[in-house]
Structure 1
């Protein structure tokens, strides 16, 4: 048995029972399902998302059903259309579809009862890949904080108890159970950036910095803590500038705090995030807004930021007749 995996599972306490396990049939989710089924017998449900993106998807579902039957765990399957729009990332499209499916499955009746928590098999290698992707995109602290061990999404408590456990350790533990798993052929497709990171960068990092998983995890933790502090500051500043923000109150803040509170406002009030270029333009316009006639009308995320009187608004529908000019 693998001590790293067992320590991580022993320390894991779900927010609610019964517990759903995101189950793809791969090694990581198979190990997680087996461990959870052993820890909380009769209180675990497997959630399988049928993405419909490859011919083997039906075989994956049949495999998951067979494993769940062996473990005595009920299986809930949800079919989604995870095809991506032109210009969209196929990985991001599949991820969004998957989380929406988890939320939909949680709303269905299960033999174990109402589901409020789900556990996912992301591990230390996945966390490093997420960090490297964020760095490649020039991400800020939210991106550098990578995946949280616990978060809430679509009304579910989402747990990732294996973020400190290397993928090889999970497979080593699983081999002792004689449980089969699926090797997804798309994981070898180097057209996907994450797969190239896994195939090329992680082995190079292991040769150069053998402890990179642990040291990267510390950096991720520092970024997450700093982002938490920025979130607290943004909430305090938003209480002062108002919702929607008063332009004069925004101007009383430093540019960095303006950026922080505007990102927070857009995400909390409107569920959108500006690009770095859009936010810079918006900050420039807020600074230049010194007369009653100064107009602000800028594309921000999938909508527009607009001045209306003394306030800054955001909308994603047609032009507003109340715009100040």
Structure 2
């Protein structure tokens, strides 16, 4: 799919905000949206404060928005990561929090519900490869959805089928300037190494890899939806919190699917494979009334509470020694 075809198929609720970094992808998206819906589009720019060039990025975005006649809203954040935390994950969470804050300001002046993101086909391939490298399940292999709901907002990715080179060619043909983030060339980031080393090799070996990877991601997303529906049905039958004896009547794979769903939906917890396997082992061992169960999952703990599994955000108070 080329850029113009992707934009023709894009039908968001208006008014619309475009997440605008100043890079090629968000620039092309902003220019196209502003031309198609004049007066109904604004730009959201997040100043991460992570590099000296961030002020230049903001000035560039302001100049482009002025030429386009598009309002620009800027949110300044400190996106530094904590020890042991992924820099990319920390920055991503900070960006979404910023978009939600900027949208709240926008709602005071109109019902802003839609935000467009500039991720493209190469970004989708990188996401699938990262998921494979981490041993992810279907949820990870599904990669980025074209539409998602978060914080009461609907996020759109209309360019997921468009290669990065096609977007840059579109901008070059129209003599539209963009900026290159120097951090995109930093080999310390896994995504950058995938982009610089792996994607060219895939291009040579499998020229259609972007389309085929995207198709696999869609298949994974469909399968994940089915697993979520099954988990909802199973949770309704065993109760929430889950009854241990009812869980034990299910296959181990079905228990795992239900527990992942319950932990995420009810407690915002995504256990690692090792943690979930340990929880399943402890559930299988609960064959007597007095058998305890206790395991740390994410930021909390799962414990046996009589016949059911209980959740604590922190460790329950210990009994004093006598």
Do the structures match in fold with TM over 0.5?
A: yes
Q: Deviations over 1:201-225 (max 9, x none)?
A: 0000000111111111111111011
Q: Corresponding residue for 2:2?
A: 4
Deviation at 1:39, TM superposition (A): 1.4
Q: Corresponding residue for 2:121?
A: 124
Q: Distance in 2 between matches of 1:256 and 1:289?
A: 18
Q: Deviations over 1:88-133 (max 9, x none)?
A: 1111110110011111111113696232111100000000000000
Q: Residue 243 of structure 2 contacts residue 309 of structure 2 at CA under 8 Å; is this kept in 1?
A: yes
Q: Distance in 2 between matches of 1:139 and 1:100?
A: 25
Q: Corresponding residue for 1:161?
A: 158
Deviation at 1:29, TM superposition (A): 0.0
Deviation at 1:301, TM superposition (A): 1.1
Q: Distance in 2 between matches of 1:145 and 1:110?
A: 31
**1:96-245 → structure 2 map (5 Å cutoff):** 96-109=93-106, 113-245=110-242
Q: Does 1:306 align with 2:298?
A: no
Aligned length in residues:
319
Runs of 4+ in 1 over 3 A off after TM superposition: 109-112
Q: Corresponding residue for 2:75?
A: 78
Q: Deviations over 1:243-266 (max 9, x none)?
A: 111111111111111000100001
Three-state SS of the structure 2 residue aligned to 1:157 is: strand
Q: Residue 42 of structure 1 contacts residue 112 of structure 1 at CA under 8 Å; is this kept in 2?
A: no
Q: Corresponding residue for 1:288?
A: 285
Where do 5+ consecutive residues of structure 2 fail to align? Answer: none
RMSD (Å), alpha carbons: 1.4
Q: Distance in 2 between matches of 1:314 and 1:165?
A: 44
Q: Distance in 2 between matches of 1:21 and 1:270?
A: 31
Q: Corresponding residue for 1:265?
A: 262
Q: Deviations over 1:24-73 (max 9, x none)?
A: 00000000001111111111110000000000111100100001011111
Deviation at 1:317, TM superposition (A): 2.2
Where do 5+ consecutive residues of structure 1 fail to align? Answer: none
Q: Distance in 1 between matches of 2:313 and 2:76?
A: 30
Three-state SS of the structure 2 residue aligned to 1:299 is: strand
TM-score where L is the length of structure 1: 0.96
Deviation at 1:321, TM superposition (A): 7.1
Q: Residue 301 of structure 2 contacts residue 315 of structure 2 at CA under 8 Å; is this kept in 1?
A: no
Three-state SS of the structure 2 residue aligned to 1:107 is: helix
Identify the range of structure 1 (231-240 vs 108-117) with the bigger mean alpha-carbon deviation.
Answer: 108-117
Q: Corresponding residue for 2:243?
A: 246
Q: Deviations over 1:273-310 (max 9, x none)?
A: 00000000000111111111111110111111111001
Identify the range of structure 1 (275-284 vs 36-45) with the bigger mean alpha-carbon deviation.
Answer: 36-45
Identify the range of structure 1 (259-268 vs 173-182) with the bigger mean alpha-carbon deviation.
Answer: 173-182
